A and B are shown apart, each in its own frame.
Chain A
């Protein structure tokens, strides 16, 4: 890479001056051609039929496979030691899509912060990462009703030397904070007074644990179950007791749900109907329990109330 860029940057000697003119012009032409290609590429992105709530479900049935966007976050959606897709959301998705007539699921792993952009740019069909329903996200995608509710918890150094319990208290103690890219916890921390520039954004929870262990930050914040699970193998860090974050001045448990493109309301509604059936028969709890979820994390909240307005 480097020697190549060097050659492109400056010719090794000056005796090629006579070809500089034409070369520069052809370079410009090349750039223009690339630009035209790029524009054509953009307008060619297959946008689903927008009327009548989309036909994605029919297309998925015909293909027999649905692509799930996951963020490699235990226990929400991840690839296990055997290379199998598992996690709270993918397992629930398998059960629900089977009932909808789609037999196979295919994981598309990405960063948490890239899930919504990836969904909207057709990289996958559904976000199956236990994503929290927030008003900002509701402007970009549509959510099924939450399949679980969740407080936050911190990852701190062993023994919690600074005695951190929630955002307000951590902010008052000037504790250095980290959280994941695109996490809802960014908002929770800013509610307590943190400025955006004070928050270290790490790629995922393992990098967050690493930041705590290495002493780069005082705590890493995530969902209670993420924090609980990521410290399991760590001898230097522990998770604090879960607490309910404050949003717009009042305590608000977060609800995690599946996200769909805004045009695919038909698929979302069909998914929701099956989800409610599974909730009634307590199948949701049976599917989520192996991933460390408890009865108190089952929820009756709706996407509508979490989206607000």
Chain B
């Protein structure tokens, strides 16, 4: 096996482009999944089953089908019905939506872990429901689940290469294009592999540290 530092140098400009895009996808995808997951979790706690039931079906469906299939569906099938978005928008939305069905369970666990006494105290103080959620329940629930959410951010990071399949030029896309143009696969793929470790491992240490501080 040969290793060519020249190829690494040639790849670096493309690598930075890819890295920036990967981080952008990750940031936007995380925001969508955090926000949407919270919406799902709250909807699942509404008293009427006419809301709970459809939300449950939709989120179960999304969670139990592969992200790749969802991505292809959004990218190749929706335009047939006149719904078109750029590859990047489609990809960010798909990954955010997919992960929101996981984060929703994280929020659910966090909400259920708030002691019943907190609810009772809020009732005794005659706090309105909206205010109870906003200032009593959610601050305690979310504090507990921040590390779990962080883990999903890391998982999402590792899923961003899937977006390559719908022509989004994130890190893996850039590496593949470079490899196919120059017929050198070892160097670009190694570079992005190392980049994933350099991002994911410190991130997982951070999550562990957060866990120690916030949960205990």
Give A contacts to B, CB under 8 Å: 1-2, 5-6, 9-11, 13-14, 39, 42-43, 113-114, 116-117, 120, 136, 139-140, 181-182, 186, 197, 200-203, 207, 210-211, 213-216
Contacts and interface: CB of A to CB of B under 8 A. Distances in A.
Contacts of A210: 76, 79
A181 B204 CA distance: 35
A177 to B, nearest CB: 13
Dominant SS among interface residues on chain B: helix
A200 B167 contact: yes
Interface in B155-197: 155, 158, 165, 167, 169, 176-177, 179-181, 183, 185
Contact of B152 (A2, A11, A215): A2
A10 B147 contact: yes
A6 B148 contact: yes
B151 A6 contact: yes
A5 B181 CA distance: 33
Contact of A2 (B102, B147, B167, B185): B102
Looking at B158, B179, B180, B212, which has the most chain A CB atoms within 10 Å of its CB?
B180
A136 B84 CA distance: 36
Nearest to B154: A9
Interface string B1-27: 100000000000000010000000000
Nearest to B200: A9
Contacts of B177: 181, 201
Contact of A10 (B76, B167, B179, B207): B207
12 contacts: A2-B102, A5-B155, A9-B204, A9-B207, A10-B151, A11-B208, A39-B1, A139-B183, A201-B167, A203-B165, A214-B79, A216-B84
B48 interface: no
Contacts of B216: 14
B183 A140 contact: yes
A117 B165 CA distance: 19
Given A181-B180, A216-B87, A117 B204 contact: no
Looking at B102, B181, B211, which has the most chain A CB atoms within 10 Å of its CB?
B181
Contacts, number: 72
A13 B207 CA distance: 12
A114 B155 contact: no
B185 A117 contact: yes
A116 B183 contact: yes
Nearest to A137: B183
Given A5-B155, A6-B155, A10-B211, A213 B79 contact: yes
Which 9 residue pairs spanning A and B have beta carbons closest together?
Answer: A214-B79, A113-B180, A6-B151, A182-B180, A42-B1, A9-B204, A9-B151, A10-B208, A5-B155
Looking at B151, B165, B169, B207, which has the most chain A CB atoms within 10 Å of its CB?
B151
B65 interface: no
Contact of A14 (B76, B165, B169, B212): B212
A134 B81 CA distance: 40
Contact of A43 (B1, B152, B167): B1
Looking at A9, A136, A213, which has the most chain B CB atoms within 10 Å of its CB?
A9
A117 B186 CA distance: 11
B46 interface: no
A2 B177 CA distance: 28
B126 interface: no
Interface string B197-215: 0000000100110011001
Nearest to B173: A201
Nearest to B180: A113
A191 to B, nearest CB: 15
Contacts of B154: 5, 9
B84 A215 contact: yes
B152 A6 contact: yes
A186 B182 CA distance: 13
Contacts of A39: 1
Nearest to B179: A117
A276 B216 CA distance: 79
A139 B86 CA distance: 36
B180 A114 contact: yes
Nearest to B165: A203
B154 to A, nearest CB: 6
Contact of A202 (B79, B167, B181): B167
Contact of A216 (B86, B207, B211): B86
A44 to B, nearest CB: 11
Nearest to A139: B183
Given A10-B150, A186-B181, A210-B76, 4 more contacts: A9-B155, A139-B183, A140-B183, A181-B177
